[in-house]
Amino acid sequence: MTFAPAPIPSRTQYVLEAIKHAILTAQLQPGQALVETELAAQFGVSKTPVREALKTLAGTGLVVMNQYKGAIVRLVDATMAREVCDVRLLLEPEALRRSIGRKVSLEAAQEALERADSAGDKADRSLANRDFHRALYLPCGNPLLTQMLDELRDQAALVSTVAWATIPTWEREAAEHREILRLALDGDGAAAARALHDHIASFVSRGFPDDEDGGDPA
């Protein structure tokens, strides 16, 4: 028997989305302390929904909870970015190849591309990009594979936000997304998977270059 997760109370959901948006627009910086009393006063709620929202955000990887320092926005450095990238490289191209093999509709991916192009800020653009990637792997036919990739979505969005603060390359990423989708719509699973692999790897390489190449970690 399986049980659906309990719905998040509306006040907690409101606080959660507000904090997430602030993190993904860099209004809350990596490493910044998230003080429950200050956030409660800011949002006009008690500390309980703030505490629950922070716990949820810690579960998605955007926030780190420390028994001594409290909650902080997760720090993003080259190591963290590459760890997220490594897992995506192992799973996401294969999930896309399987989706194409099942001849599914990719209308959701096209819609996400359009939202990313018209996004008003970095958070909306980053989340639309995550929706694009999810629309490619969601129909892969393996719920466990989908779940594993879903659990990386917020961390991948945070990596994008930090990288774009240094090198705003979203136009290049958008062009790469269009090419990936073109290959997917043509039914060329192998080529689409290769393009997706190169897209993920090159983004992290640009945003978080190796020290040996003369770059500094973010």
* Domains assigned to the chain: 10-73 (1.10.10.10), 78-213 (1.20.120.530)
Given a cut of 70, is residue 59 above it in pLDDT? yes
pLDDT at 186: 96
pLDDT bracket for residue 161 (50, 70, 90)? confident
Average pLDDT on 47-69 reads 92
Across all residues in the chain, what is the average pLDDT? 89
Q: Which long-range contacts (CB under 8 A, 24 or more apart) does 66-72 make?
A: 69/33, 70/33, 70/34, 70/35, 70/36, 71/33, 71/34, 71/36, 72/31, 72/32, 72/33, 72/34
pLDDT in tens, 62-100: 999 988 789 999 999 999 999 999 999 999 999 999 999
Q: Is the dihedral of CA 193, 199, 202, 208 positive or negative?
A: negative
d(C-alpha 212, C-alpha 202), whole Å: 16
pLDDT at 217: 34
Q: Which two tokens stand for residue 77?
A: 């450095």
Q: Which two tokens stand for residue 71?
A: 């909650």
**What number of other Cβ atoms are within 10 A of residue 59's Cβ?**
12
Tell which residue, 134, 174, 127, 169, has the closest CA to residue 150: 134
Q: Radius of gyration (Cα) for the chain, nearest Å?
A: 18
Average pLDDT on 201-216 reads 71
pLDDT bracket for residue 25 (50, 70, 90)? confident
Least confident range from 20-34, 136-150, 182-196: namely 20-34
- How far, in Å, are 25, 96, 118, 181 from residue 174 at the CA level? 19, 17, 11, 11
pLDDT in tens, 92-142: 999 999 999 999 999 999 999 999 988 887 778 888 898 999 999 999 999
pLDDT in tens, 165-178: 888 888 899 999 99
